[in-house]
Structure 1
Amino acid sequence: MNVKQPNISLPLKLTFLIFSMVLNCIGIVIIQLSEQKITYDKLGFLDSFKDLPNALFSLFVVNFISRFGTKKSLIFALMLVGICSLFLPFVEVFWFYKLWFAIIGACFAIGKICVYGIIRNNMTEEKSLAKTMNSVEASFMIGIFTVNTGFGWLISSQFGEYWKFGFMFISLISFITVYLFMKIKIAEPQNKSTRIFPDLSGFGKKTFILFFGVSFFIIFIEQSFNSWLPAFYKDHLKVNSFFALQASSFLALFSYTGRTITSKIIQRFPLSKYFMTCVMMIVFLLIITSVIQFYFSENARVLLFMFPIIGLFLAPLYPLINSKMIAKIDKDKINAFTSLIVIVSAVSSSINSISISILFKYQMLTYYSLYILGAVMMVSVLAYSYFKLSSNKI
């Protein structure tokens, strides 16, 4: 990783790994709590308890990070995640899951802004930044794979009733990452703002609006898979919880492969053409899955293998579009800009979770692929406009 301190790579990747596991364990929580007769409309709001604090808190944490420093802020967020995950197995009430996800969402706001800030402050060239972003974001997909596979094996074992104790593993990794951060030095930005809210001037231009629109629908698509694919497999394809989680893990594995390959080859291709090629491949695959669902429903289980392949082309989109814009942002505004990315992502995830829970509640899962395809078409239109406009200087 091309940063000033070579040993910063591991804790940065572990940070995204940890947040990936705690954010994307919601699919596991939905499956387990649905068996306790908690309805899908109630479970659909769990994402909101994660995403809305994430969005609201992100505006305040920009100057919190500026005042206390990137390293201390990251350590604080990781310690809080570790402590909360340590307590989770011992709490039985449903409201604690809401509180837990709210704390996780707020901590992720800190973590993402810090990680993006570190990368931007040490990278200048657009394609190098894209390579680094895909490399670090790839660990996010490993987190999804790890949490689905690990909890899947635990749930299906003779110790399945103790599935919540898997969160103690996440707690352990959090404390290890805190230790690694304490052992290294990180270059901190010099500006120490005393403002309550960050300076958001200049982010209302058409280029930024299009960028945030693209980001909104990419997150919308990703959450349709990451949070709800296990439940789709279980409810619509009638597979057991273990197989649903393992099949979903393959989506994460393909997504990791997509981001890793992208980080290796992106410098050979124009970012915009690479992005649009991935989008067109997703459209092609979703059309096939929709045809299977509507006209060959007796062969619907082939979707267990179709959806993971989509991850190969979906996963690079978010790092690519972020890196293209971040490379053009002034270093003193990167934290404020990242806070807006966090807000857009949180709102998108929350809206998606509530709307897709309606498909589950009314057993309309035949339209699952078409639901996602609509969002992909929005990405293609907005991304085309964005790339055309961003060829000019912001």
Structure 2
Amino acid sequence: MSVKQPNISLPLKLTFLIFSMVLNCMGIVILQLSEQNITYDKLGFLESFKDIPIAVFSLFAVNFIGRFGTKKSLIFALMLVGVCSLFLPFVEVFWFFKLWFAIIGTCFAIGKICVYGIIRNNMTEEKSLAKMMNSVEASFMIGIFVVNTGFGWLISSQFGEYWKFGFMSISLISFFTVYLFMKSQIAEPENKNIRVLPDLSGFGKLPFILFFAVSFFIIFIEQSFNSWLPSFYKDHLKVNSFFALQASSFLALFSYTGRTITSKIIHRFSLARYFMMCLFIIISLLIIISVIQFSFTENSKILLFLFPIIGLFLSPLYPVINSKMIAKIGKEKINTFTSLIVIVSSVSSSINSISISLLFKNQILNYYSLYILGAVILVSVLAYSYFKISMNKI
């Protein structure tokens, strides 16, 4: 089954590409600002300026989208991202990064709800929806790869002091995506939400609670890599900034590969079995990494190559679990449901960044892999319970 509007596929993917770059430049910002005598505890709270606006605005975003429509809301969010990224290179003060990330977070809340809504309104079958979700979400991984690789080359070049001007390229992509959306025909939902706050009834059932718990810890794990892996490489493995960013880019490349492969083969497997198989492989890899880190420290450089492999199996988890639940949600509630997903994700990201910053501040990076392993094991237990519950209860 395919999307009814085939011309909308490219701008949807570009939307996720753009938000991926602006959200996941956090690792680059942390890396660069840490060299300007800004402490890790302050940088750890920087992510909260992105995540808290996402969480707060997500519920109101449903009403915003309902009033103005999906297309206009997406265009507004992308235009705001483009304009703010255009001005970022010309501002030198630290507080502007807080404001910039707050604006980015608010726009992401709008963008993700709109994109998920469009996909759900054009997909009904569970595995077809999973295929489309992985395809669009794969562009999110490409964004991580592009932003780490591009900024890595810029930072290591003779123009490294002008690294912030790389954000101007994000502006150009944003404006181009706005142009594509203006040329596209998007079917708007018939019933527009005019409530100040959306109807949350029914989302307190056990399957939803378990689903949100699983989503929380998946994002928790992903952000442990996306935002902090470059700094781990630099501080613990003692590689330079350029190589730290390039090694992290390979994590994104493997993640893109994982989601792309999943979109091609997911229809052949049970979603639950595929999900649990990926978790088992991740746990195995993290155990190997921990053994090397604690018992074979002279070979610790091999971690630069082992961590990216995790992306192959970590990246499909979020789209698969989301698509399985979204397929069961009525179209009239999809925006509200997506807003809750965004809230859970932002809270998870913020809590993780603050807690992992303590590892860096207290110089206990030996526990980095064990920290992530504990979260993966917890996801496995929660996911097993989630899949055991009959989805007919929803």
Same fold (TM over 0.5): yes
> Counterpart of 2:119?
119
Bigger mean CA deviation after superposition, 384-393 or 44-53: 384-393
> Counterpart of 2:94?
94
> Counterpart of 1:37?
37
> Counterpart of 2:247?
247
Q: Report the alpha carbon displacement of residue 297 of structure 1 after superposing the two structures with TM.
A: 1.1
- Provide the secondary structure at the position in 1 that maps to 2:188: coil
Q: Report the alpha carbon displacement of residue 44 of structure 1 after superposing the two structures with TM.
A: 0.3
Which letter maps to 2:48? Answer: S
Q: Report the alpha carbon displacement of residue 281 of structure 1 after superposing the two structures with TM.
A: 0.3
> Counterpart of 2:362?
362
Which letter maps to 1:33? Answer: L
> Counterpart of 2:346?
346
- Provide the secondary structure at the position in 1 that maps to 2:36: coil
Q: Report the alpha carbon displacement of residue 393 of structure 1 after superposing the two structures with TM.
A: 4.0
CA shift digits 1:73-102 (9 cap, x unpaired): 000000000000000000000000000000
Q: Report the alpha carbon displacement of residue 194 of structure 1 after superposing the two structures with TM.
A: 1.9
> Counterpart of 2:172?
172
CA shift digits 1:154-187 (9 cap, x unpaired): 0000000000000000000000000000001100
| 2: CA distance, partners of 1:364 / 1:200 | 41
| 2: CA distance, partners of 1:105 / 1:373 | 28
> Counterpart of 1:192?
192
> Counterpart of 1:296?
296
| 1: CA distance, partners of 2:105 / 2:77 | 10
Which letter maps to 1:312? Answer: L
Q: Report the alpha carbon displacement of residue 392 of structure 1 after superposing the two structures with TM.
A: 3.5
| 1: CA distance, partners of 2:336 / 2:225 | 29
- Provide the secondary structure at the position in 1 that maps to 2:325: helix
Does the CA contact (< 8 Å) of 2:207 and 2:391 recur in 1? Answer: no
Does the CA contact (< 8 Å) of 2:293 and 2:366 recur in 1? Answer: yes
> Counterpart of 2:153?
153
Does the CA contact (< 8 Å) of 2:82 and 2:175 recur in 1? Answer: yes
CA shift digits 1:243-267 (9 cap, x unpaired): 0000000000000000000000000
Q: Which residues of structure 1 form unaligned runs of 5+?
A: none
Does the CA contact (< 8 Å) of 2:59 and 2:197 recur in 1? Answer: yes
Q: Report the alpha carbon displacement of residue 298 of structure 1 after superposing the two structures with TM.
A: 1.3
> Counterpart of 1:386?
386
- Provide the secondary structure at the position in 2 that maps to 1:72: helix
Does the CA contact (< 8 Å) of 2:62 and 2:193 recur in 1? Answer: no
> Counterpart of 2:12?
12
Which letter maps to 1:330? Answer: G
> Counterpart of 1:281?
281
Which letter maps to 1:377? Answer: I
| 2: CA distance, partners of 1:273 / 1:366 | 32
| 1: CA distance, partners of 2:119 / 2:46 | 31
| 2: CA distance, partners of 1:108 / 1:296 | 42
Which letter maps to 1:240? Answer: N
CA shift digits 1:37-91 (9 cap, x unpaired): 1000000011100000000000101011011000000000000000000000000
> Aligned residues, how many?
394
| 1: CA distance, partners of 2:317 / 2:184 | 31
> Counterpart of 2:335?
335
Say whether 1:128 aligns with 2:131: no
| 2: CA distance, partners of 1:192 / 1:369 | 46
TM-score scaled by length of structure 2: 0.99
> Counterpart of 2:205?
205
Q: Report the alpha carbon displacement of residue 390 of structure 1 after superposing the two structures with TM.
A: 3.6
Does the CA contact (< 8 Å) of 2:257 and 2:312 recur in 1? Answer: yes
| 2: CA distance, partners of 1:193 / 1:375 | 36
- Provide the secondary structure at the position in 2 that maps to 1:110: helix
TM-score scaled by length of structure 1: 0.99
- Provide the secondary structure at the position in 2 that maps to 1:92: coil
Does the CA contact (< 8 Å) of 2:275 and 2:320 recur in 1? Answer: yes
Q: Which residues of structure 2 form unaligned runs of 5+?
A: none
| 2: CA distance, partners of 1:288 / 1:354 | 26
> Counterpart of 2:73?
73
Which letter maps to 1:182? Answer: M
CA shift digits 1:289-317 (9 cap, x unpaired): 01111111111110000000000000000
After TM superposition, where is structure 1 displaced by more than 3 Å over at least 4 residues in a row?
390-393
Q: Report the alpha carbon displacement of residue 2 of structure 1 after superposing the two structures with TM.
A: 1.3
Say whether 1:228 aligns with 2:228: yes
Q: Report the alpha carbon displacement of residue 193 of structure 1 after superposing the two structures with TM.
A: 2.2
Q: Report the alpha carbon displacement of residue 391 of structure 1 after superposing the two structures with TM.
A: 4.4
- Provide the secondary structure at the position in 2 that maps to 1:35: helix
Bigger mean CA deviation after superposition, 128-137 or 290-299: 290-299
| 2: CA distance, partners of 1:379 / 1:339 | 21
| 1: CA distance, partners of 2:192 / 2:88 | 36
| 2: CA distance, partners of 1:348 / 1:311 | 19
